[in-house]
Amino acid sequence: MGKIRITQIGGTGEEEKREKRKVQREEKKKREGAGKKDKKQEKIHLTGMKGGERVKTVGADSEEELEKLIKLSREVERDQDEGIKIEEEDKKAKKKKKIRVRGKNYQSSLLKLDASKQYDINEAVPLLRKISYAKFDETVEVHINTTETGLRGKVNLPHGTGKKVRVMVADESNVDDIVKKISEGKIDFDALVAHPKAVPKLAKVAKFLGPRGLMPNPKTGTISEKPDQVAKKLEAGELNWKTESQEVPVIHQAIGKLSFKDDQIVANYQSLIKSVDAKKIGKVTLKSTMSPGIKIK
């Protein structure tokens, strides 16, 4: 066993040893600092730097000056943080939707309607002409709130929509050329009907067709063994309708132009309502491109 040291706690010998060790530590610090600059150095964080770069050694002539530097750095960091918060709040404020202010013509048209009334379709069409004020041939639109989601179907409008539908037929003979044109951004059609054998090649340009609602789909009837027959129906006025999404039970559909006769608009309207099924309809609104909406029975 080694030597056993016995020291009396609080005794004079222990105090002398502690004092001696303290003096030795102070002398060692003086020796180590003799070759260094007199300036005191301290590490502080500087704003605007990243990661480890933010820690810099800064010289100060005195302890007081060092404290000032540290205090200044903290104030700058605080101001910067507050500035970032204010900037974020400004961005959020800018993102807030501005209240839409309607023009005088719209406001004037709105006064001609009874907001509490639901109009019969035969009464609503002549009224729609009175409240429409645009200088172009406006599209007549029907907006239907349905009681179910995920509805879709087809309807053949007896008088069409007033817009000539450009239909492209894709089959084995021309699908390569069509894919090449679409890849180059050349889409010169409003509907694309495909033969089942042409669909795999069209999948290459689905990223261009999908967002535009042009990708052939068996649900919409645009994939068929007889694509030419489907194309003729589309050109004659047959169209596909569906609710906006699974969560939004609303159908937006154009049914003609204001230049149509009243009975033509009514006939197209009735065909659409029959296709959707009146039992699944909650509310119906009739309007033109620029006009206010008219509530329909």
Q: What is the pLDDT of residues 18-57, one digit of tens each?
A: 777 877 777 777 666 655 544 444 454 544 444 444 444 4
CATH of the domain at 279: 3.30.190.20
Which pLDDT score is estimated for 55? 45
Same domain flag for 205 and 260: no
pLDDT on residue 48:
47
Interatomic CA distance for residues 57 and 40, integer angstroms: 10
> Would you say residue 278 lies in a domain?
yes
**Domain around 223:** 166-236
- CA dist 163 and 229 (Å) reads 20
Does residue 295 share a domain with residue 170? no
Task: Encode pLDDT of 47-68 as tens digits.
Answer: 444 444 444 444 445 566 667 6
Q: Is residue 80 part of a domain?
A: no
- Predicted pLDDT at 258: 92
Does 25 fall in a domain?
A: no
Q: What spatial distance separates the first Cα and last Cα of the chain, rounded to whole Å?
A: 108
> In the prediction, which pLDDT does 54 show?
45
More confident residue, 185 or 9: 185
Please report whether residue 158 resides in a domain. Answer: yes
Model pLDDT for residues 81-131, shown as the tens digit of each residue: 665 565 666 666 666 666 677 788 888 888 888 888 999 999 999 999 999
29 belongs to a structural domain: no
Stretch 220-229: mean pLDDT, rounded? Answer: 86
Quote the number of domains for the chain.
3
